[in-house]
Structure 1
Amino acid sequence: MNFIPDNISKHDNVFDVLKERGFIEQTTNEEEIRDLLGKEKIKFYIGFDPTADCLHVGHFMQVIIMMYMQKFGHTPIVLIGGGTGMVGDPSGRTDMRQMMTPETINANCNAFKKLFDKFLDFDDEWVYTGGDGKTVGKATANKEPEPGKAICVNNASWLLNLNYVEFIRDIGRHFSVNSMLRAECFKQRLEQGLSFLEFNYMLMQSYDFMVMARDIDCKMQFGGNDQWSNILHGVDLTRREVNKQVYGMTFSLLTTSEGKKMGKTQKGALWLDANKTSPFEFYQYWRNVEDADVHKCLRMLTFLPMEEVDRLGDLKDAEINKAKEVLAFEVTKLVHGEEEAIKAQEGARAAFGGGGTMENIPTTTMDSTSFDGEGMGVVALIQQLKLVPSRSEGFRTIEQGGLVINDEKVTDSKMMITKDLFKDGKLLIKKGKKTFHMVQI
């Protein structure tokens, strides 16, 4: 099942592979971690709070890292935060996360697991048996996982049964408020306001690490750079409470050369679910990344050998578009499969006049009566198609010359779309340089 080819690297230690691909940012002890990953096959975990019913491209970096670790024989523990999701991680936030109902959190947890099944090979017979609700109790699993296969846990199984006073007495005593307030995840929130609810999050995540080290011999936690403080406190808590040496490692977030997070589109996040972000839109996002970001994206989001990554990343001027096509195809193939990647590529080539078929451009079928008589206003149409978030944005797009219908630039914001504008029942709309949409009646 693993998508990573055997020739991915000349290195046989996954630490060196991750370093070569530019993932690793911070480690609790680089030499010891490299030695550990070279000599042993370990269990490690990455946590995912179910803040939505789908993974987005920000999560995908973490998934790729788990795929590398599994390729080299290590056991990924996918921790789904059914417990921590009740509180919400303040890391990287300027405001408090919206509270979700337990039913929504549970539904999101189930949706997450189905998506992870696409990328990791799980031992589905392995089950964490849960604890007795005691903070310093112990739980086990029904068996050891099959070597190299991933396992999945939900921290609701140990967090939701805890007695709060017992938790604060046993676990809270190890945490210095002064130290916590120096953590970046809290420091940036103090001016806007940090709720006591969110202040508990670090204790809960640290406790997760301790529980898994104690119960199933988890030796490492990975996360994005914004998780560094939480990971450090988890390492410290595990040493203090269960006398075990564990390690932490963080990875660079997927950002542009200007330091902005990648994966944001005009419709919101770039989702891994085809029902939320179509394969065509997904492909187009990567096809249109800035030239300066091509090498980084090829290195981190594809499984091309580094020699090929360097060759493509070094292309200049018009030639860099060939590298962008490869990037878009490889990432779309990984997320949506080769068939969808081919369709997306053909659709993009057709839209940009380079051959291919228009069949794969995002299409909305509408009732032809909508365009009877005087028809429908162009601004109302593009808002209905969600090409713009509001009418005012629609007017602004037209004023700035950013809307084209059937290869004709729209100059009149009061233009009416009628049946006679459709060619063979189809109307091609282009917004800006990157967004295409077909209307069919």
Structure 2
Amino acid sequence: MQNILDELSWRGLIQDKVTGLENILRKKTTVYIGFDPTYDSLHIGSLIPIIVSIHLQNIGHKQIVIIGEATGFIGDPSEKKNERIFLKKDILQKYVISIKNQIFNLFSYHSKKIELLNNLDWIKNITFIEFIREIGKHFTVNYLISKDSVKNRIKNKKKGLSFTELSYSIIQGYDYLHLNRTKNCQLQIGGSDQWGNIITGIELIKKITGKKVYGFTCPLITSPNGLKFGKSEELENIWLDRNKTSPYKLYQFWINISDNDAEKYIKMYTFLSKEKIENLIVEHRYNPSKRLLQKKLANVITKWIHGDKELKKITKITSILFDNNNKILQSLNEDIMTSIYENIPHILFSKKELNYGIFLIDILKNSRFLKSKKKANYAIKNNSIYVNKIIIKKNFLLVKKDLIKDKYILFQFGKKEFFIIKFI
């Protein structure tokens, strides 16, 4: 237990921490993390606090996970330029169920038991007058507006910050107080954007009970363009829900990360030993073209999220898509073609449209694989378009004989972008 902070620090899993944290980690304690159900799926950034929790469980600490249905009604202003749009009650409850199921599956995969609670169960029992009298009195306005998440919003005079959002930090602090009273919880973990909220809870517990409790944050994971993964940044995310991010896309995300990110993430996202990781890094640096680190991450995380059967299917699909032999497509069975269709960008067309043929330029534009005829023409002239793995050097007419299994046509743009059309 004494070495757990060194272990987490080496893995890059600690950003900010309360002084004396090592004291509470020398003995078994109760830890909590929380997720607001502001969307119906977690994303790869959400895995980091869960991974930290599993590391702590491995040495005997107890884990509580909070689904923040109450705080989800408000929305955390941290890192937000604008006020969140309030979710309707029925939508929020659907999100609660989805997030709850994902959390159970993530911990169950590693054979870990958790206590899963909903903060609405205790928030709903306190009246507004009670809350502002018994809890709100412990925080000055100056204290609340000193937090970065609040200061940044106040600077924007047009948008400002509502009282509703200003109260978020106190409500989350009350969660920590409630868990400390009822579960003897003494440690809270969150993303680095939660540091201010965690400190609010620590201060509240100290003022009301006199007890010393602790907290630390994990770094936020960002997309290649530098934006954080978050449940409100839908277009930037790699989701855990297969209907939002296909298992193939999840796998390819890890395959395509940079070598620097791969060296960082192999420590953060896997439970491999330090010795094993260091050996992998040395081997990878010796021959980076093999992408050993990227493949290890893709295999480990895809298997965790979608299971071993799905991983095998994805590795099969990947080998087919990146195989330069065009004859391989005709040998595929219907199950594999269906898997390819489900996992890469796709669209349905009527087979009747092939009766008189469709020009390649038109099908590329109409399928939105390429945004315009101009871009499609440019790609063809530059030998960047493949149809059923055959490079195309000029516009031509697609007809029924071009179909794979009498249903599909596979398109490729450059080395990595694929698109498939199913004709019915």
Residue type of the partner of 2:340?
A: I
**Hey, what does 1:302 align to over in structure 2?**
270
* TM-superposed deviation, 1:203: 1.0
Counterpart Cα distance in 2 of 1:149 and 1:57: 21
Counterpart Cα distance in 1 of 2:97 and 2:358: 44
Residue type of the partner of 1:216?
A: K
**Hey, what does 1:47 align to over in structure 2?**
34
Cα distance, 1:436–1:197 mapped onto 2, change above 3 Å: same
Counterpart Cα distance in 2 of 1:397 and 1:83: 49
Can you list the C-alpha shifts for 1:24-44, whole angstroms capped at 9, x where unaligned?
Answer: 111111xx3223212x22111
**Hey, what does 1:344 align to over in structure 2?**
314
What are the residue-to-residue correspondences of 1:74-93 with 2, within 5 Å? 74-93=61-80
1:220–1:248 Cα contact (<8 Å) kept: yes
Can you list the C-alpha shifts for 1:384-432, whole angstroms capped at 9, x where unaligned?
Answer: xxx57xx56x8657646665433356788x9775434323332112245
**Hey, what does 2:351 align to over in structure 1?**
368
Counterpart Cα distance in 1 of 2:14 and 2:376: 41
**Hey, what does 2:133 align to over in structure 1?**
169
Can you list the C-alpha shifts for 1:96-144, whole angstroms capped at 9, x where unaligned?
Answer: 222111111111111111111112259xxxxxxxxxxxxxxxxxxxxxx
Identify the range of structure 1 (227-236 vs 253-262) with the bigger mean alpha-carbon deviation.
Answer: 253-262
Instruction: Select 2:238's aligned residue among 270, 280, 284.
Output: 270
2:229–2:236 Cα contact (<8 Å) kept: no
**Hey, what does 2:217 align to over in structure 1?**
250
* TM-superposed deviation, 1:276: 2.2
* TM-superposed deviation, 1:287: 0.4
Can you list the C-alpha shifts for 1:257-291, whole angstroms capped at 9, x where unaligned?
Answer: 88543689995421112222221111011000112
* TM-superposed deviation, 1:373: 3.0
Cα distance, 1:421–1:257 mapped onto 2, change above 3 Å: closer
Q: Does 1:436 align with 2:423?
A: no
**Hey, what does 2:4 align to over in structure 1?**
14
**Hey, what does 2:59 align to over in structure 1?**
72
Query: After TM superposition, what 4+ stretches of structure 1 lie above 6 angstroms from structure 2?
Result: 263-266, 354-358
Q: TM-score, normalized by length of structure 2?
A: 0.83
Identify the range of structure 1 (94-103 vs 318-327) with the bigger mean alpha-carbon deviation.
Answer: 318-327
Cα distance, 1:176–1:411 mapped onto 2, change above 3 Å: farther
**Hey, what does 2:146 align to over in structure 1?**
182
What are the residue-to-residue correspondences of 1:100-111 with 2, within 5 Å? 100-111=87-98
1:280–1:362 Cα contact (<8 Å) kept: no
Counterpart Cα distance in 2 of 1:77 and 1:245: 19
Counterpart Cα distance in 2 of 1:34 and 1:334: 30
Can you list the C-alpha shifts for 1:173-211, whole angstroms capped at 9, x where unaligned?
Answer: 111222222212112222142222211111111111111
* TM-superposed deviation, 1:45: 0.7
Q: TM-score, normalized by length of structure 1?
A: 0.80
SS in 2 for 1:205: helix
Cα distance, 1:71–1:53 mapped onto 2, change above 3 Å: same
2:177–2:205 Cα contact (<8 Å) kept: yes
Can you list the C-alpha shifts for 1:293-330, whole angstroms capped at 9, x where unaligned?
Answer: 11111111122222232233342364352221122111
More helix by share: 2
**Hey, what does 2:189 align to over in structure 1?**
222
Unaligned runs of 5+ residues in structure 1 are: 1-10, 123-147
SS in 2 for 1:302: coil
Cα distance, 1:256–1:56 mapped onto 2, change above 3 Å: closer
Unaligned runs of 5+ residues in structure 2 are: none
Q: How many correspondences in the alignment?
A: 396
* TM-superposed deviation, 1:53: 1.2
Counterpart Cα distance in 2 of 1:321 and 1:382: 32
Q: Does 1:231 align with 2:195?
A: no
2:410–2:419 Cα contact (<8 Å) kept: yes
Identify the range of structure 1 (68-77 vs 305-314) with the bigger mean alpha-carbon deviation.
Answer: 305-314
Backbone CA RMSD of aligned residues: 3.0
Residue type of the partner of 1:167?
A: F
Residue identity (%): 31
Residue type of the partner of 2:404?
A: K
2:347–2:367 Cα contact (<8 Å) kept: no
Cα distance, 1:260–1:432 mapped onto 2, change above 3 Å: farther
SS in 1 for 2:178: helix
Counterpart Cα distance in 1 of 2:376 and 2:99: 36
Cα distance, 1:396–1:173 mapped onto 2, change above 3 Å: farther
Can you list the C-alpha shifts for 1:328-349, whole angstroms capped at 9, x where unaligned?
Answer: 1111112111221122122212
Counterpart Cα distance in 1 of 2:171 and 2:163: 13
SS in 2 for 1:47: strand
* TM-superposed deviation, 1:433: 3.7
**Hey, what does 1:152 align to over in structure 2?**
116
Cα distance, 1:221–1:318 mapped onto 2, change above 3 Å: closer
Counterpart Cα distance in 1 of 2:392 and 2:78: 44
2:385–2:392 Cα contact (<8 Å) kept: yes
Q: Does 1:211 align with 2:181?
A: no
* TM-superposed deviation, 1:160: 2.5
Counterpart Cα distance in 2 of 1:158 and 1:197: 18
Counterpart Cα distance in 2 of 1:285 and 1:257: 10
2:65–2:117 Cα contact (<8 Å) kept: yes
Counterpart Cα distance in 2 of 1:208 and 1:187: 23
Instruction: Select 1:285's aligned residue among 253, 260, 273.
Output: 253
